[in-house]
Amino acid sequence: MKSIFLALLLSGTVAAYAQDSSLVNGKLNATTSVKNQQATGTCWCFATTSLVESECIRKGESTPDISEMFTVRNIYIEKAKNYILRQGFARFDEGGLGHDVIQSIAKYGAVPESAYTGLTNGATSFNHGKMVKELKAYLDSALKKRRPVNDNWLDSTIVILDKYMGAPPASFEFNGKTYTPQTYAKDVLKFNADDYVGLTSFTHHPFDERFILEVPDNFSNGAYYNIPLNELVDACKSAVKKGYTVAWDADVSNRGWAMGRGYALVPTVDSLMRAKPFNPDQEENVVTQDSRQRLYEELVTEDDHLMHITGIGQSPKGKTFFVVKNSWGQAGPYHGYLNVSEAYFANNTISVVIPKAALDKALKARVSK
């Protein structure tokens, strides 16, 4: 295993960021440490928060450690509002998508991990199963009562969130100054929701238009800009090579996903994924716009998991791979990272969230209309 180190000059201090990879000739962009979502379905928040952190580092603003659970808590409030207004005919669980993080920071702000951990009563790890069950049961009970719905239903929802996750701070100290979540996002993170765009690639909607992505976790009806597959792949490759990173929503339950090997491919022969020694240069299936669409419509490619693309490199024989940061702790041979082939990315991507500044001039103009 080879480790590639990227050194950045930040405010006069040299900071090194290590990402384990077996790739060569790589471009590895600065990111924060690998986190662990533990027993929660909050990958969407960990991946997109990591993207926002990397953008702060890239711009030389700071090296933040943003609280994922502050955002998760705020999104539960948004899910509850949606569930009540849709009279219970909506999804209410732990899932979400990358745009939810962007919109949450825009609305509620953000806080550092030091100000809010989302853990209470001596807990040392995250597990939202019991909390979500209690929240949904309460919301269902509120809907069963005679109209109008009790006007304090949201207050009672917040009581449940406080019990399991703790009440968030209205203000906090950070680096010797007092901030609110809104001022921390604005003044420290320099966050602007308009700096990001969601992209996807499916043929059941016209290209060069936005559409509401039809996956169960898109409770907030986020719209993604639709472009041809080759443009989506090229946009992400180009962004990483230019020093940007990408939040990636993909299927990880299909053939070829092998976190334990540190790789994800679309192998022509399944048994090769289990061969010893493992060969990252093995032949892969050809992925086309039509084959990708068919898998999506047959529900083979589903919205499973969000991760953070932080680098790009090549196998010893020249095959291109994305370097992907996961949120399962130090899992796998590359300590929380894995190498995703271009074919796997093309075959299994649901959507991405990417900084607009990373796009080439023509695509940026199209998505900005």
**Catalytic positions, please?**
43, 305, 326
Structure tokens at 137: 């049961």
- Other CB atoms within 10 A of residue 140 CB: 12
- CA torsion, points 175, 177, 182, 186, in degrees to nearest 10? -70
Q: Is 295 helix (H, G, I), strand (E, B) or coil?
A: helix
CA 369 to chain centre: 25
Q: Which two tokens stand for residue 119?
A: 């853990």
Residue pair 132/175 in contact by the 8 Å Cβ criterion: no
Structure tokens at 7: 């050194």
For residues 27 and 322, the answer to whether their CB atoms sit within 8 Å is no
User: For residue 109, what are its two tokens?
Assistant: 């702000």
CA atoms within 13 A on the CB side of 6: 21
- Per DSSP, what are the bridge partners of residue 210? 225
Task: Name residue 177's beta-bridge partners.
Answer: 174
In 3-state terms, the chain is what percent helix, strand and coil (to 5)? 35, 25, 40
Determine if residue 134 is left, alpha or beta; phi over 0 gives left, psi from -120 to 50 gives alpha, anything else beta.
alpha
Handedness of CA 351, 352, 353, 359 (dihedral sign): negative
Residue in this structure with the two tokens 């790789």, named with its chain if needed: 263
Structure tokens at 86: 């849709």
| Contact of 363 with 235, CB cutoff 8 Å | yes
Instruction: List the beta bridge partners of residue 320.
Output: 314
Q: What whole-number distance in Å separates Cα of residue 86 and Cα of residue 362?
A: 39
Strand partners of residue 321:
313, 341
Give the 3-state secondary structure of residue 276.
coil
